[in-house]
Amino acid sequence: MDKKVRVRFAPSPTGGLHLGGVRTVLFNYLFAKHHGGDFILRIEDTDQTRFVPGAEEYIFNCLAWCGLTPDESAIHGGPYGPYRQSERKALYRDYAEQLVAKGLAYYAFDTAEALEAKRKEIPNFQYSHATRLQMKNSLTLSKEETEQLLAAQTPHVIRINMPADETISFTDMIRGEVNFHSALVDDKVLLKADGMPTYHLAVVVDDYLMKITHAFRGEEWLPSAPVHIVLWKHLFGLENMPQWAHLPLILKPDGNGKLSKRDGDRLGFPVFAMDWQDPRTNEKTTGFKERGFLPEAFINMLAMLGWNDGTGQEIFTLEELVKQFSMERVHKGGAKFDYEKAKWFNHEWLKKLPVEQWMPEVKKQFEANNITITDDKKLIEVIELVKDRCSLFSDFVQQASFFFKAPEAIEVTAIQPKWNEQKNLFFAELIRAYELMPLWKHDELEKEFKEIAAVNDIKPGELMLPLRIMLVGGKFGPHVFNIAEIIGKEETIKRMQHTLGMLK
């Protein structure tokens, strides 16, 4: 029987959680759940210089919002902890030493200055089989010298001793067989001078210890795969190595290249899952959540960036995605992010989900714009009326504020040129009639409106827009008489009089 599937997402807590990161989580999650396996979240915080307070908690919050709950993590617990690499520091050195003992790694004592000098001396310098004999390390020093330096606690790193002439190959679940020539891969640092492992060492040690069966990560990792393969071969055996899949990148909408936070700022759309405030600069970046996206839509949209089930279906629930997902159907090429399409996904989900479920978000958006809503029944009525014209929760502010508050700007210029005394008289009469209306219902209002128009011999079409401008302030929104009914007699008449005053 096959081993239980175990996958992991391993972010470093250095800032906001990027679209591409969430998609990597998603594909990990979908694959694991499709196979009845476990999804592990491991924090890769081995670079102490890049530690950002709050970033870890933020990642957990994003995952919670998305509904992608880890089975094991630093906060969910689990049998293979700790799940923060900084807390596992002690165990890495031993593996690096094992490699040194076997001659597959070596101590290197080169200072930053020496490395810098070498880079200047040799163009495109690589610390590799071609150059390592020119450097200060346990390969060039005598055994005694090395031991002396070590005993004196001289700062040093441990580097992998890449084979000089081997073909390193592995099978990627998305790309098939991939080959590298070992001579072109440099001797990556495995253990840093501060005793922390680099990503290269940590990822293989932890994947082994945590019994990871499938390792998925972004395509940017492909060039360093041979380092990981060599490590696996000598540390734990290729037969125990997880199956790899390198996911295609999410590209910027214009031009080419990886989508970055900068692109979002420049083009006006979010890139992070949720709002992120950098504690060092206090710079605040809005996320998809706060911008008015439903998590269901966000996930759905991400899933379709680089994957589809081949049927043409585009709207999927998480459960459906779990059921349908397969790594073989993931694309090789990167996908450009399209914000318009992202909004479309949200629009579809808005239509699909019951209003009650997302009404609180709409309220929040109104509150952020100083409109407090106390009447839930009215809000639901309003939402039903305008939801076809909204893609995001934030759109409701623009589309429905006038139901709760008289419009601040009245687009009188839209009606002024064609305004005349006849229309003036019509509206005066309409107001008198409306004041006496016993039943304030949209069909009654419309009937009355048309009757008075007929008596005055004006085409109703000439009067509809003026009425709309009076009530809404602009040329948009649902049927005018529905609006009038909801805002009520008093408010309707007040707004008519207000605009009439402006037209005199």
Partner RNA sequence: GGAGCGUUGGUCAAGGGGUUAAGACACCUCCCUUUCACGGAGGAAUCACGGGUUCGAUUCCCGUACGCUCUACCA
Contact between 217 and 225 under an 8 Å Cβ cutoff? The reply is no
- Decide: helix, strand or coil at residue 336: strand
> What gap in Å lies between CA 188 and CA 132, rounded to an integer?
11
Least spacing, CB of residue 170 vs RNA, in Å: 10
- Supply φ then ψ for residue 4, to 5 degrees: -65, 135
How far is Cα 68 from Cα 319, in angstroms, rounded to an integer?
A: 11
Active site residue: 118, 136, 233, 261, which one? 261
* Structure tokens, 3: 């081993």
- Would you say 5 or 168 has its CB closer to RNA? 168
Give strand pairing partners of 159: 106, 189
Q: Of 323 and 475, which CB lies nearer to RNA in the complex structure?
A: 475
Task: Tell the smallest beta-carbon distance from residue 286 to RNA (Å).
Answer: 21
User: Measured from the CB of residue 420, what is the shortest distance to RNA in angstroms?
Assistant: 17
For RNA, the closer of residues 242 and 477 by Cβ is: 477
Peptide bond into 82 cis (omega under 30): yes
Give whichever of 418 and 475 is closer to RNA, judged by the CB atom.
Answer: 475
End-to-end CA gap in the chain: 86
Nearest approach, Cβ of 186 to RNA (angstroms)?
Answer: 6
Gap between the Cα atoms of 247 and 218, Å rounded: 5
The closest alpha carbon to 430, from 357, 376, 486, 489, belongs to 489
Q: What is the smallest separation between the CB atom of 1 and RNA, expressed in angstroms?
A: 31
Q: What's the farthest any 2 CA atoms get from each other in the chain?
A: 112
In sign, the C-alpha dihedral spanning 475, 480, 483, 489 is: positive
Q: Are residues 94 and 104 in contact, defined by beta-carbon separation less than 8 angstroms?
A: no
CB 496 within 8 A of CB 487: no
CB of 2 to RNA, least distance (A): 26
> Which residue, 297 or 370, has its beta carbon nearer to RNA?
297
Nearer to RNA, 33 or 468 (CB): 468
* Ramachandran category for residue 473: left, alpha or beta (phi over 0 → left; psi -120 to 50 → alpha): left
* 377 in catalytic set: no
- Beta bridge pairs of residue 171: 177
Give the residue numbers annotated as catalytic, written as ranges: 261
